Amino acid sequence: MQPSRQLKIYLLILLLQQTNGQNVRSICSPPPSPCDSASKYRSHDGTCNNLEHPKWGASYTIYTRLLPANYADGISAPPVAKDGSPLPLARLVSSTIHPTAPVEDKQLTLNAMQYGQILTHDMGVALNTTPPDFRLDQCCSTSRKLLGPITGSKYCFSIVVPKDDLDFIPIGFECFPFSRTTTDHEYGCGRENESVQQINGHTSFLDLSIIYGANADEGAFLRVLKNGLLKSEHRLGQKWLPRSTNITRDCILGDPKEPCYDGTGDGRVNQNPQLAILQTILLREHNRIADRLGAINPHWDDERTFQEARKIIIGQHQKIVYYDLLPLLIGEDNMKKHKLIYTSKGYVNDYDPTIDPSIINEHAAAAFRYFHTLINGQLNMFNEKRLNEGGIRISDYIVRPLILENRRTSFDDLTRGLATQSMLAADEYISREMTNKFGTQPGDLVGLDLIAICIQRSRDHGLATYNDLRQYCGLPRANCFEDLLDVIRKENIQKLEELYKSPDDIDLLVGGSLEKLVPGARVGKTFLCIITEQFIRTRKGDRFFFENSGDIGFTLSQLREIRKASISRWLCDNTNIKRIQPNSFVQISTENELVDCNDLPLVNLKLWKEW
């Protein structure tokens, strides 16, 4: 690999880890007082959602935990095995546990996987705000040589390549640079003798902070401040996210003229083409609604139009997540059992002010990351007749979204691909694009291992072990590896026994990824428990949730319109697509046939006409 390519991969690592470090305010700041209980709209930073606990769920507050942190020193040192020895290398665990023989899901499209990423980005981003004088190459050089201990500083936690690795060692790679997540201790919060806690840079609510920003200043910057609109640019007959003003920071480019986006509430927008597509759809949908509301209510000023459009699209987003997506991932019966969805035609009003909606660390750094198994490494493009127009390797376009504007039809063709192509199955099998070629450039033989990065991140966050969490979730504690047979297949237990000295050492992310799926869901029992608990908190801890009544809610007739929302209608209204299946999270079939876009239910915005 040429030095220039090495530098590009190194830059990719920096881009993926420098998440939302701008605009950080102290997490130690006191809560706002008093809260304006009469406000009809959410704050950008999530404060005052709960009037008694104004900072619950707010941006720049700490993640919560189901179980105490598992740091080796009780404070911040990465976990070790029960006997004090090092845990198996994250790269070794990835290559052993996750074969690269991907199997396609027989029911769901890539759109389900990709909207899952929208969902998880909306709920959180772990901060990485290392000091200006710190460089990742102090621990692992740009040519991937290990320069010192993997924890050579409190910021460094390099991923070491096993000495017998068949992919990376032959080309001289000894490590991947990796920096640790920012914690409350670095801001002078928390007690010195207590475990560090990571910081969530977004609000914990499903409030689309990825397009509206996670604080008031960022929210104002993203707006036109006229007619309720968000900033956009017009090219190729379409509205696009604004181009980045710092493309060397935000993208890996072959040409400075390539598209590279900014102007969103989330710095990860360029991470992959499909993510950029859905972020663009969200921008277009907000502006479409704002235009319509302005025409219906010409007396509304910019602020009223913006806030009402924001409220509508957040309501639609919450409906799509809870009623259309989550039942496919964690099971419809499970959703009904835990009162996450209802058949009511009226209000639900299940807000509980005693519930803290903050994001659970075990959910963010392990359980929901399991869905990386759903990523398909090949992205296909389809014309209006659903004929395949060719495809691209996702790894070639990580942090490089030029394909979206490569030609006039690329955006629409890739969007049809989202709604047509199968996602991969929920299992231990991972696309090689994710484990060996993540972030490569054309001609590169290897890239990064996303799964090893996720395992390292879960250790960085000091998550409790798999054995601890399976016991928390109602499974018996495993005293020996054979005790795992209740939920893990024998051949996978043998792999775990090769890697770990004790069941008490197994990483949560690893053990949970190997559990047999619960019928009707796409996760095993432990992850189902964690994810379900998170979405109970996310729904019932949100005073502004779309099915709640009162001045902050919708009128009953408006609520009935919000319930008509669908991801398919969003795709139709914001692209040149003419035909689509009613539920584009699900593959086209005789029960989900292609229909004319105009035949899909449309949210009737006339119900928002004031007078």
> Buried b vs exposed e over 569-584: b needs ≥16 C-beta within 10 Å?
bbbbbbbebebbbbbb
Q: Strands (DSSP E) along 17-99, which ranges?
A: 61-62
Query: How far, in Å, are 269, 398, 487 from residue 283 at the CA level?
Result: 12, 21, 42
Q: Is residue 372 a known part of a binding site?
A: yes
The answer to whether 251 and 404 are in contact (CB under 8 A) is no
3-state secondary structure 528-588: HHHHHHHHHHHHHCCCCCCCCCCCCCCCHHHHHHHCCCCHHHHHHHCCCCCEECCCCCECC
- Tell me the C-alpha distance between 306 and 311, whole Å: 9
Sign of CA dihedral 266, 267, 272, 277: positive
Amino acid at residue number 94:
S
- Other CB atoms within a 10 A radius of the CB of residue 381 amount to 22
Upstream peptide bond of 327 is cis (omega within 30 degrees of 0): no
Contact 55, 35 (CB under 8 A): no
Residue 466 and residue 507 in contact, taking contact as beta carbons nearer than 8 Å: yes
Helices and strands per DSSP (H, E), number in the chain: 20, 12
Considering all CA atoms of the chain, what is the largest pairwise distance in Å, rounded to the nearest integer?
73
CB 177 within 8 A of CB 13: yes
Q: Is 121 a catalytic residue?
A: yes
Which residue type does 503 have? P
Whether residue 512 contacts residue 366, with contact meaning beta carbons closer than 8 Å, is answered with yes
CA distance 280 to 392: 20
Dig out the tokens for 180 from the structure.
């640790």
Single out the catalytic residue among 44, 53, 98, 121. Answer: 121
Do residues 100 and 435 lie in contact, with contact meaning Cβ atoms separated by under 8 Å? yes
The pair of structure tokens assigned to 261 is 């986006």
**Beta pairing partners, 156:** 179
CB 466 within 8 A of CB 526: yes
CA end-to-end distance (rounded Å), the chain:
66
Beta-carbon count within 10 A of 445 CB:
13
Residues 175, 162 contacting (CB under 8 angstroms): no
- Overall residue count recorded for the chain in this entry: 611
Neighbours of 120 (CB within 10 A): 16
Q: Which residues are catalytic?
A: 121
Bind-site residues for heme b: 372
